[in-house]
Chain A
Amino acid sequence: MARSRHPNKEIEAAVQHAEACGWIVEMSKGHSWARLLCPLHTPDGCILFVWSTPRDNENHANSLLRSIDRCRHCHEEGDDEKV
C-alpha cells in the first residue's frame, strides 16, 4: 500500500489531501509523477496529473488543491453517506 512520497512537501500535502478525499494515487513514469483518480471510478471520473518537477512547486500544489476541491464526485459521495 505504501507509495513513495513526492519530493516537494507542498505537492505531497496536496496529494495527501486528495487521498483524504477518497482519491487514488496511481504512480506513473516520465514527467508525470502520478495520476490522481477521483472517487468516481467510471470513465466520467476526473483524472489529475501531478508533475515530478513543475515549473513552480507552490503554484502546482495550489492548483492541485483547487482541482481536488472542485471535483463534484467527492461531494456526491459525501451526500450519499448521509442518505
Chain B
Amino acid sequence: MKKYEFTIIATGLDPNRDDFADRFFGAGCDDATISFQKGAIILEFDRTAKNFAHALDEAIKNVELAGATIVHIEPDHLVSLSDIAVRAGVTRAAASHYANGDRGKDFPLPVARVTTENPLWDWVEVARWLRRRGQIGLAELLRARVVRYANLEISKRRATQRVFGRDGGYRRDHRTAA
C-alpha cells in the first residue's frame, strides 16, 4: 500500500450549508483536505491504496456519494514547459531544450494554446518520451494515462449532461459563475 496525492475539483454543494463537510466525511473523504475557492470545491486527497488507479477510482466514488459533481482531476494532463520541468525533475532551461529539439529528438508537439507564448503539452505524450529516455518510472507514465482517461471521461459526461439537462445538482451559484 502506498500514499497517493491528487486533487479532485467538484461543484454542486453549498459550503455554507451545515451538512457540507459532514456529507464528505460520511462519504469517506476524511483523507481529503477540503477548501472552497472561486466557487469550486477542492478536495486534496492523501489516499493510501494498492495503486494510483485504485486510489483515484475510489476517491471519485466517495466524492460522488457525497452528492458533488466532479469537474476535473489534478495534476492536470495538460502541462506547460514549467510543469514538465518540475515533473521530470529538470530545469526549465532543460525542458526548453527538449522542446526545441536541442536535446533529444522527436519531442511531442504541443496540443493546446499552440499560438501563445505558453503552449501546453499532453503529459501522457511527454511522459512516454521521458520514459523512453529512462528519465521517469513506469508508474509515473501509468499515472499520467489514468489522469488523462479520467479527465476525458469527466468532460464527456459533463457535456452530455449539459445537452440533456440531467445535471440535477445544486444549480444556484451564489458566487456568480465566471
Q: Which chain A residues in 51-72 approach chain B with CB under 8 Å?
A: 51, 53-56, 59-60, 63-64, 66-67
Residue-wise interface mask of A (17-38) relative to B, using a CB-CB cutoff of 8 A (1 in contact, 0 not): 0000000000011111000000
| Interface membership of B135, Cβ < 8 A | no
A49 to B25, CA, bound (A): 11
| Interface membership of B21, Cβ < 8 A | yes
- Chain A binder among B36-44, B119-127, B147-155: B36-44
Give, as a whole number of angstroms, the nearest-CB distance from B42 to chain A. 8
Instruction: Assess the A49–B30 pair: CB atoms within 8 A.
Output: no
| Interface membership of B74, Cβ < 8 A | no
User: What interface size band does chain A fall in?
Assistant: 20 to 34
| Interface membership of A80, Cβ < 8 A | no
Number of interface residues of B (CB under 8 A): 21
Q: Pick the contact of A43 from B34, B35, B175 — CB < 8 Å?
A: B175
Give, as a whole number of angstroms, the nearest-CB distance from B114 to chain A. 28
Instruction: Assess the A30–B175 pair: CB atoms within 8 A.
Output: no
| Interface membership of A13, Cβ < 8 A | no
Q: Which chain B residues in 3-27 approach chain A with CB under 8 Å?
A: 3, 15, 18-22, 25-26
Give, as a whole number of angstroms, the nearest-CB distance from B92 to chain A. 20
Q: Pick the contact of A47 from B15, B26, B44 — CB < 8 Å?
A: B15
Instruction: Assess the A49–B18 pair: CB atoms within 8 A.
Output: no
If A44-B175, A56-B46 touch, whether A49 touches B21 (CB-CB below 8 Å) is yes
CB-nearest residue of chain A relative to B22? A30
Could you say which residues of chain B place their CB within 8 Å of the CB of A31?
21-22, 25-26, 30
Instruction: Assess the A29–B15 pair: CB atoms within 8 A.
Output: no
| Interface membership of A74, Cβ < 8 A | no
* 19 examples of A-B residue contacts, CB within 8 angstroms: A29-B18, A30-B21, A31-B22, A31-B26, A43-B175, A46-B35, A47-B37, A48-B33, A48-B34, A49-B20, A49-B33, A49-B35, A51-B25, A54-B30, A59-B46, A60-B33, A63-B46, A66-B44, A67-B33
Residues of B that sit less than 8 Å from A by CB? 3, 15, 18-22, 25-26, 30-31, 33-38, 44, 46, 174-175
